Amino acid sequence: LDLQQCVSNVIEVDETSSSNVVTCRGAGQNEDITWKYISASGATVNIGTCPPSGLCSNANPLFSSTRSPSSTSSQLTFKLDIKTYRSQYGGMTLICDTPSTDEISCQLDVIHRAEVTSCSAQSNTSGTQWTVGGTCAVSKAYSERNRYSCAWAEHRAGSSTTIPASQTSLTKTSYTEGGATYNHVTCSFNRPFPTVTGTYTYSVIISPGSVTPTVPGSNTIVPPAKPSTDCPAGFIKQGDTLRCTCSTTNPGTPPATVTWDGQSGAQLEVTGVTSSDNNKQYTCQVRWGNRVVHDTTYTLRVACE
């Protein structure tokens, strides 16, 4: 047996829909299909039985079952307004049973599908701790079983990576509308900036409702090239000034910074060179975010007099 709409042991019942249907399939053509439910209090209640003739018994006030003659499946519809009876329907566990198979069950969850008002992804490369983040705002959502979730993913060149829960957050604030409770929901993620070359986009699945809004924004990543210097290869006379520059042919995207160790930029200047400066080493670093990805070292040689 199989309850067609059951996903991860939950059937979502949309309170805004007038066509919520649950299908039990896989029965024998010549056997009865019986519907039951377990209430929130734990009581098992009979809904009705659909024999092979298709003449289903429908004495239950909450549901109505149907079956075509000799069909291997049966459909269950909701008689009452879902929104009005959300706590009653949402606390149930539905059961479908036949004489030849073990019964199958699934929890009902009355939901208001997440209404997403905005989504975006953006990068933060203003400091040394580069990050990328995204946010979606949900103006209205509800789950009787408190099933709120946001599953973010990062995509590059046809591959996808699930963003771990430790890098995501979900906040919700309840409010009342028309006598019913709903929630404002904010879904977000924040993670270290990617370092592998490529264009990155982001997606999210928001529950209740498994809504998949478009997330505008992308990041193009190009690592920087190795540095080189124009420092003199020969000896420097004592008393002279050493001036040279470190640079890279491709600073990358986002651009890296090139600095000499102990200096404020890419220009190295040593005034009044003395013999004690001989063989002193200066390192140029290409820093990309909070990482030194390349470096090169220059050794100062001072001419003896």
**What whole-number percentage of the chain has pLDDT above 70?**
100
Indicate the residue type of 102: D
Q: Is pLDDT at 305 greater than 80 in this prediction?
A: no
Q: Is pLDDT at 269 greater than 80 in this prediction?
A: yes
Q: Is pLDDT at 106 greater than 90 in this prediction?
A: yes
Q: Is there a contact between 294 and 265 (Cβ–Cβ < 8 Å)?
A: no
- On whether the pTM is more than 0.75, the answer is yes
CB within 8 A of 12, min separation 6: which ones?
Answer: 5, 109, 111, 208, 209, 210
- pLDDT tens figures, 206-254: 999 999 999 999 989 999 999 999 999 999 999 999 999 999 999 999 9
Written as one string, the DSSP assignment of 168-185 is EEEEEEEEEETTEEEEEE
Average pLDDT for the chain? 94
Q: Which pLDDT band, with edges at 50, 70 and 90, does 256 fall under?
A: very high
Q: What is the pLDDT of residue 304?
A: 81
> What domains sit in the chain, N to C, each tagged with a CATH number?
2-110 (2.60.40.10), 112-221 (2.60.40.10), 227-299 (2.60.40)
Q: What is the pLDDT of residue 18?
A: 86
**What whole-number percentage of the chain has pLDDT above 90?**
90
The tokens for 169 are 């957050």
Q: What is the pLDDT of residue 114?
A: 98
DSSP H or E segment with residue 201: strand 198-207
Q: What is the pLDDT of residue 129?
A: 86
CA nearest neighbour of 296 among 224, 246, 239: 246
DSSP H or E segment with residue 133: strand 131-143
The two beta strands, 227-229 and 242-248, are antiparallel
CA dist., res. 216 & res. 207, Å (int): 19
- pLDDT tens figures, 112-128: 999 999 999 999 988 77
Q: Which pLDDT band, with edges at 50, 70 and 90, does 301 fall under?
A: very high
Average pLDDT over residues 72-85: 94
Q: Is pLDDT at 149 greater than 90 in this prediction?
A: yes
Q: Which pLDDT band, with edges at 50, 70 and 90, does 111 fall under?
A: very high
DSSP H or E segment with residue 90: helix 86-90
Lowest mean pLDDT among 188-192, 243-247, 258-262: 258-262
CA nearest neighbour of 206 among 255, 273, 135: 135
Q: What is the pLDDT of residue 195?
A: 86
